[in-house]
Structure 1
Amino acid sequence: MKQLPILILTILTLGALSVMAKSRPQTTSQEDVRKADYIYLEALRAKSQGRNDVAYSLLQRARELNADDKDIGVELSLYLLRLSQNDSTLLDDAMVMLRDYNEANPSDLYNGSRYALLNEQLLNRDEAVRTWGRLHTYYPDHLEITYRYANALGMGGSEEDRDRAIAVYDSVEIAEGKSIPLTTKKIQLYFTRQDTTSILAEADRLRESSPKNVEFQVFSGDIYSMFGRTDEAKAFYDAACEIDPSSGLAYYSRAQFYNSLGDSAAFNREVFQALQQKSLDVETKLAILRSYIQEMYNDSTQLPRVGQLFDVLIDQHPHEHDIHALYARYLIVTKDYAKAAEQTERSLDLDPADQEGWEMLTSLYLQEEQLEKAKAAIKRSFRYYPEDGRQYLVLGSIYDQMGEREKAPQEYARALELIDSTDIKTISRIYGAMG
């Protein structure tokens, strides 16, 4: 006889056990019901006190006395799930108890969600869809449940299920309005069908719902560009820049579009325009700049333009630590150590709790052979990081180089106290310096 797959057998087993539980005659005596209720309450009290081993034992006993009590079952299932990592029998028992409870209490949002999520993890897709769908009928305005239901429908299954998922997302749009996250979810479902027409139509509907929305125009540009529709994509990026000439997002998106086409001149122009927009937050500007530096690094003729971009950003945001710190690192790559030290000093003035910055400043002054400045930087760093063993090692070596060798041994000894005993390389350096 052909064997059924394990997942199908599990689902059928759960269904059969649930039916058996429903059809079982009521044989529990009233005395056992009362005992079970009392023990169940004692179990909850033990649980509230953190005595989980006692609570588990009490719940097992209550279950033995009254297997028909769904509240006892669902509480016991929590413990069985924790113990079931390598025991499929315990897992099956827990899932049966959860299913029985949810069949008796279909509107319980918490336990219903937990049961549905567990079925998703166990790849019991049909049961997850059934449970999310039922919760959705009870809580049609609960967006998280709606999304879970639609996601479950869209994961695998039939074309009809994917159509149902799209219909669910459509219902959310009617209630909440169109948005990029919702449109993206529908587009992902169309991708599984390789339905380019529907994907582009979805982007069009989003854009047409609010023609003055810059993000919707950019989103359309990204989608059309993905399918090689470059003329339409450029029109959408241009429209975004025209709608809001101060939008950094619009300029940067158009810059990436030009970059994908290999138009370096247009890419440079758009990056400059993006970074000059005050509406763009600092984190985004730094992300743009890092990306730009990577693009331009191998072209030495472009390096002065990078410096100009940093000048623009510093002029706009003179008190941003991260801009000065990134500029310093860029200057180190270009081997302009003196200017890198200057930028690091500025970054530390803004945020002196930057341990790596202090070590870098020390190293830069040593690179420039400015021993007094390096020594002063280390001593300043000790105000914030008095247990930085590496800095004590460097300070000792500075005293050696300056001819103040009587001061070096105590710095090496201090470094030896502070360095992690597993850092063999640094410990070897300390002993070498002491020798």
Structure 2
Amino acid sequence: MHRCLKSVLVLPALAAASLLLTGFTWSFGKDKCASAIELAQKLPATTDELQRSRTETEILSLCSDGAAATYVQGVQAERAGNLDGAIAAYRRALQQEPNLAAANGSLGMLYQHKGLTDDAAVELTKALTSLRIPAYHKALGKVMTERRFYALALYHYGEVLRQAPDDAGAIAGQAEVYAAQGQIDRAMDEYRRALLLVPAHEQASLDLSRLYLQQNQPDKALDTLKKAVTANPRSAPLHLALGDLYDKRGDKQQAEYEWLLGGKKSAAAGTPAAQPGGIARGDQLAALGEIERAAEAYQSVLTEQPDAVIPYERLGTLYFKAGRDGDAITAYREASYRNSLNADVYYNLGRLYEKRSQLDEAIVSYKRAIERKPDHADARLKMADLRLSRGNVPEAIEQYVEFLKLKPESADIHLKLARIFLKNKQPSYAEDSYKAVLKLAPDNLEANRDLASIYRNKGENDKAIALYKKALQLQKDDAETRNALIALYVKEKQYDDLTVLLKQAVEIAPDDPNNHYKLGLIYDFNKDYENAIASYKSAIDLKADHARALNALGRVYMKSGRLSEAREALEAAKNADPNLVEASVLLNNIQDDFNPEPRKLTKKKGKSSKKSTAKKGSRTTKSKAPAKAATKPKKKNQ
């Protein structure tokens, strides 16, 4: 009986391991870096400067090389006026921890400040999924107004006012939306309400005075601007607007005085800034948001100088920022025809073409931007993305490499390049790129996992295991990483580590029957049958028809000689899954061991029929012996 059981029940190590390669759920205790992340998420809502400083110091001390610390570095760079450095730091922080909403918010605010409305909208929206910060709503409201999504703009301004009813900026933002929708009276009421709260509010004063002028109420416009410059005497836009208004009323002396306070040179000098239609005048009006008047100023230059390039460049930028894409394209084309040397003209034109899905034109524009300015990193990145999207991988790689020469701290582009190399079967280049990612962002999940896979394919299993373990620390429910680590533990015969991994899975998700089943398998493999039985039973308690756990339990009972219990478990396994072949095989062996004779009858039909005939003719062994003796002499005589 025992020989039969042994031949059926021996399982190869790899077969057992293959059953382990399914998902787990991970969740470890909070560490210092997790605490630092929590503190970082609270920073945007902290208004007390002393408290902010203390929090930043605590974050840096808790986890000096984590995502939260990188975020704090961005905050400090932004505070020092290094906006590009701040953007780079926020992006690195998000590479380390994609769910760091505070970094999304800060990045979105800077994008909005730089006029990158599409990028700002993405980052601010991500931030608001976790952090209901009024400043984020206000910035997104401004973005939506510029993009003419007025309903969304009003929603975000409304969210600000729900938390801070006296926020003059949000009230002025609502007024701007109402004005854009033609609700002039309502807009004027909102501007007045904002100025009651903050008399020095620059934009509300400028916008309200402009509306008064549109309504043919110049005295009210003048009164509004005078009150504004009294409350905000250092505002150059307010002084310039007041000077323009005095100029319209014929008070040249007062106009000159206000223009001087606003930083404008004397008109008597005859400089372009003083000319009503000059480039400088157009720039001033553009800064005040006077789109139409700025455009008229630029066009007045073209009346006298039709071949001038700069007015078209300025017009293109004016319309580009205002969201008037068609007018911007027309102006930028004119600048391009006149052989503009301004790389941003071609870069912005490329973005406009790309927005309209005119990809060939976009590629040409980005190429010309790079020709004008070889170190135009953003143009190279746009060119690389377009080349990649159209399947031109070699040129895409070339542009990504050139971009990284200009901005080597861009971990996200190193990661993209690594994946391109890996997809195109260039593992050595991919390895270098992944190492560059991990140098900039050691906690990048994808880089740790993908580089581990490269090492695993090269047979450098120790390195692969170290990186997979790091990846699991970063994302404890990463099934892909966990399965790869399990396979390596089996291959390297690190069964103790494997057992720890499986025990952790049970501790993390005790209600998952598969976790108990897989832990039972490793106990089973190590011949720890009592623990194996306990684990299989736990799986069955959670899921009564868990066919594989029932089958494994029956198999262990057979190994332990508990055949009646084995039969019960295996029959339950067969009922749960009629296609489970092993359960049927094991059941047949149990039946053979209970009644071995029928098994012999079915295997050797010829011999059994002979014996059956002999038994019918003779019932004793004595009658058989003479028969054999009688035949032997006869054989010799023949």
Scaled to the shorter chain, the TM-score interval is 0.3 to 0.5
Q: Give the TM-score of the pair, scaled to structure 1.
A: 0.48
Greater length-normalized contact order (CA 8 Å, ≥ 6 residues apart): 2
* Higher Rg of the two aligned structures: 2
Q: Give the TM-score of the pair, scaled to structure 2.
A: 0.35
